Structure 1
Amino acid sequence: MIDAAFFETWAFKWAILPALIICARILDVSIGTVRIIMVSRRQKLISPFLGFFEVMIWLIAIGQVLENLTNPLYYVAYGAGFAMGNFVGIKIDERLAMGFQVVRTITKKDAYELIEALRDSGYMATNVLADSSAGPVNVIWTVLQRADLEEVIAIIKSFNPHAFFSIEDVRYANEAIPPFRRRSNIDVARRLMPFARKGK
């Protein structure tokens, strides 16, 4: 058992407790950031689950601040944890790479090779001839899973390093988006642990 006097020591009040507040805020804000992203992507099951833990952790953190209103260090710790939590939440979302995106590629070069390369890799590609201020162009739409974005960009750049492309989030797709790759829990875990060593 920890002696009650320990909680009154200088080390606990000015070092350990502020660090715990920062960690709690990082955890609850990062969970909240991911929860908001999940809500926008219509993840109905995981969003309430994340919301429960987000509020529970927040209550613990704010409770410690309210009990020690005379200590300005706790305010700093609370704010620092909030700022860092937003950053961590965004990085987690980038690692998870859930949802869909659409890549719009515009090129003056004949797009036949690019379309064939995308389709050979299992991606859907829709080509439209259009007029621009620079003359006739090809506009290629590709809807894909976020986890496949880097591969598609590599295909586009290998076709034409100077091709213009833009990327937009897709809120909802009424059909499965090829290539049909089933992502296992191991794949998700690997994305969350960028420094994990690959199997030998």
Structure 2
Amino acid sequence: MELLFVALVVVGFAMLNSRNVKRTQKTIPLKTMPPDEQVHPASKPVAPPKVEAQPEPFDEPTSKPAPPETVLVGSAWVIDGDTIKIGSTQIRLFGVDAPELDHPYGKKAKWALHSLCKGQEVRAEVTDIDEYGRVVARCYLSDGRDLSAEMVRQGLALDWPKFSDGKYSDLEVEGVRKKLFLAAARQKGHMGVWKRFEENQKAGS
């Protein structure tokens, strides 16, 4: 009987204690964010993937092709009053302007240059390439004479200050710019003079 009594006391005490624990438990509400601050997981901003900067494409500078050689030496084939050929290379005489073949004094200028070069070895010291792809060079005869200077002295070419810095201007003969008026017009950019001349030539032919 004593054991049964003790067991009942223990069970009763346990039940009383269980009720007290339930009474002391409180429901603690979860802290929530205001509706305008709540962010659904699917709508969270996603940082864009990092893209490595691509190097800028390399642009090679636009430039004229380099002359094939610095110095050309050999017999010259005369094309017109300011242009020759050595081997396969066409060469423009440095710093001067002679008339075109179909312009007044054009053929005379060609044959004057031919006479200078005939039987001579010409040395062409390359300085540039012009807009037409021709090599530009200071050209000398075997005796040291400058072909550009010789053509200006003969009144069959003009100094071209834009390219020569006036190197041959003192060699120009009196009245040569009126005589070679089409070459003079080209230097000033007055190409309308050429057009009128060509139209007159066609009308008279």
Identify the TM-score tier after normalising by the shorter chain: under 0.3
Q: Flag the structure with more relative contact order, 1 or 2, with Cα contacts below 8 A and sequence separation at least 6.
A: 1
TM-score (normalised: structure 1): 0.20
Q: Which has the higher helix share?
A: 1
The structure whose Rg is larger is 2
